[in-house]
Amino acid sequence: MITAEHITFYRKSFNRRHSFSLSGINFSLEDGYIMTLLGENGAGKTTLLSLLYGLAEPTEGNVLWEGKNIFTNLLQYRREAAFVGENNGMFPKLAMEENIRILSHLYPDFSYETWNTYRMNFDIPKAACPIEELSTGQQKKLALAFALARHPKLLLLDEPTANLDPIFRVDFMQMLQEHVAEEGISVIISTHILSDVNEITDYVMLLKQGKMLLFKDRESIMEQYETYELSNLIRKGN
């Protein structure tokens, strides 16, 4: 289970308009559930995921994994948690298979069988060219397939289907739901696409300008708000 306890984060910038704060973040997510972070660009979704993965430390509060602060043993935590964001974490000058060969040794639970299954399901070709020469969409699919092949206990996904075609988005969400059901992992997805919420998520957190406006289970959200009302809530924050 991952828990955020009274998380506050402040990033100061010489340009005041570029400073950013995150506050009032409290939640717990048990194993086997999917949580969606909703909010407009700049709401704090990526910042929160970075804090949950230990890429930055909270100014105040704690991030707990299985009851322990993630920074007490960050290396072990990173073996059990996977994060797919804008940076795919691979060596851009090396080819795909070379990347997989090198990086797979870092994760004891990595499975080549699972990797090949998702590579084929995601229609990722065995390209001999460097990763940097692949399209943005191919690189995103590659990062997602590698993360799933690691068999993490916690999966953090930052806009995982952005700029990918709608058919893949639907297929990926279905495969993700099946993966969660089979392995009982926790998943946190950030998105501004409301359709991603309707089908697979269990919990929804709404962020607005660095603040948590609500955190509820999907059924409560859908009972309380129509889709257009939730869209207005994201934009207006009230």
pLDDT at 208 (0 to 100)? 87
> Taking 60 as the threshold, does the pLDDT of residue 14 lie above it?
no
- List domains and CATH numbers for the chain: 2-88+154-236 (3.40.50.300)
> Taking 50 as the threshold, does the pLDDT of residue 238 lie above it?
no
pLDDT at 161 (0 to 100)? 83
Least confident span in 85-89, 121-125, 154-158, 191-195: 191-195
What is the value of pTM for the model shown?
0.90
Cα 56 to Cα 143, 167, 218, distances in angstroms: 21, 34, 29
Average pLDDT, the chain: 87
Residues 100-112, mean pLDDT to the nearest whole number = 94
CB-based contacts of 150, cutoff 8 Å, min separation 6: 82, 107, 109, 110
pLDDT tens digit sequence for 89-102: 899 999 999 999 99
> Taking 80 as the threshold, does the pLDDT of residue 13 lie above it?
no
Buried b (16+ CB within 10 A) or exposed e, 209-228: ebbbbbbeebeebeeebeee
> Taking 90 as the threshold, does the pLDDT of residue 148 lie above it?
yes
